[in-house]
Amino acid sequence: MELLFLVLFSLHILKTEAVVGGHWCYQSQKYEQPHCEDPRQWHLAVTTCKGNKQSPINIVTRNVVYDKSLKPLDFEGYDVKGSSKWNIENNGHTVKVTLSTSPKIGGGGLGRKYKAIEFHLHWGVQGVQQYLPGSEHSIDGEKQAMELHVVHIREDVSGITEAKKNADGVAVLAFFIKIEEENKNYATLINELENIKYKGQRAQMEPLPLSSLLPPEEDLGRYYRYKGSLTTPDCHEGVIWTVFEKPIELSISQISQFSTVHFDGKNSTYMVENFRPVQFLNERKVYWSSASTLLPTAKVLMLLLMLTYILSSLFQ
C-alpha cells in the first residue's frame, strides 16, 4: 500500500512539474516541437500569462489619451561607451545583450529613475516576395519588421527578481525597426550573430554607446505609454511601457541576419517569428506624449483669424 502511495505521489509531482515548468515556445517552433506550449497556451505553464494587463498591444491612435506630463525622457549615460564588453547570448528565444554599464532614464512621467540592464529583439521571417513583419506592438494594426526592447529596472533594486516585487519595478523602452538603408551602427552586433547560432551560446562584443542603436534623441519626444507585462513567460505584470513612434532603420540584409540563428542546437528550427501576438487592452488606457500634441483645431483657427486681422490692418 505504501509503495502504491509513493508511486501515485511521484506521478502527481511529475504532472505538477509538467504543468508549472512546461516548455514554452513560439508558434514557429510547433512543427519541430509539437508538444511545446505556444503563446495561446502559455497560461498553462504560467498562470500570470492570463492576466488582464498583458503585453504587447495594438495601439489605436484615435483612442489614446493626451497626457501633458509625458515630456521627453532624460537619457543619462546613453551616449557613453563603457570599457567592459557586453555579453551577447542566444537564450533559445531571442538574441539578448546584457549591458556592462547602467545607463539610466528618468522624467517623461516615470516618477523615478530606471537603469538599463539588457536589450533584446523580436523579428519576423523572410517571405517569398517580402519580409513578413515581426514586431510585437502595432499601431493601428500596422506592424514593422522588428522590435527592440531595452529593459530597465528601478535604480534602487539589485536585479530583475527584486524589481518584480514592485508595481513599478520594470520599465521597457520599445522601438520599432523598419526596412530602410543599412545602419552601420548595428554592424558590431550583427557580426556577433555568427558566434551565437545555437541555444546557450554566448559571446562578448565591443560595447557601444546605447544611443547609437536608437533614433536621434531629438526624435524621441513622440511616444505612447501604458501599463503592461513582460512579453515572455512569466508574463510579469508591473511593466511601464514606452513605445516610440520614430523607428530604427536597418537594411533588409541586416534584418535577415537575425534569422540565421537557431531556437535550439544544430539542425533545429531557425529562430523566426519570435513574437507574442497582441493581447486585449481590457480597461487600460494608452497615453500619448505631449511632444506629439498638435495644436487643437480651435487654436489653429484663432491664429488664422488673428493673422488675417493683422495683415488686413497693415494694408489699410
The catalytic residues are: 93
Return the ∠ at Cα 165 (arms to 164 and 166), rounded to 5°.
90
**In the block, residue with C-alpha cell 516576395:** 129
Q: What count of other Cβ atoms lies within 10 Å of the Cβ of residue 68?
A: 10
Tell me if residue 119 falls in helix, strand or coil. strand
Cα dihedral value 16, 18, 23, 26, nearest 10? -80
**What type of residue sits at position 310?**
I
Length of the chain measured in residues: 316
In degrees and rounded to multiples of 5, residue 108 shows phi and psi of 55, 30
Helix (H) or strand (E) holding 131: strand 131-132
Closest CA to 170 of 118, 247, 99, 98: 118
Q: With 0-12 CB in 10 A as exposed, 13-18 as middle and 19+ as buried, what is 9? A: exposed
Alpha-carbon distance of 295 to 308, in angstroms, equals 18
* 23-to-33, 44, 91, 232 alpha-carbon distances in Å: 10, 10, 13, 12
The grid coordinates listed for 114 are 530606471
Instruction: Give long-range contacts, CB 8 A cutoff, 24+ apart: 41-50.
Output: 42/233, 42/235, 44/19, 45/19, 45/20, 45/21, 45/233, 46/20, 46/233, 46/234, 46/235, 48/229, 48/234, 48/235, 48/236, 48/237, 49/233, 49/234, 49/235
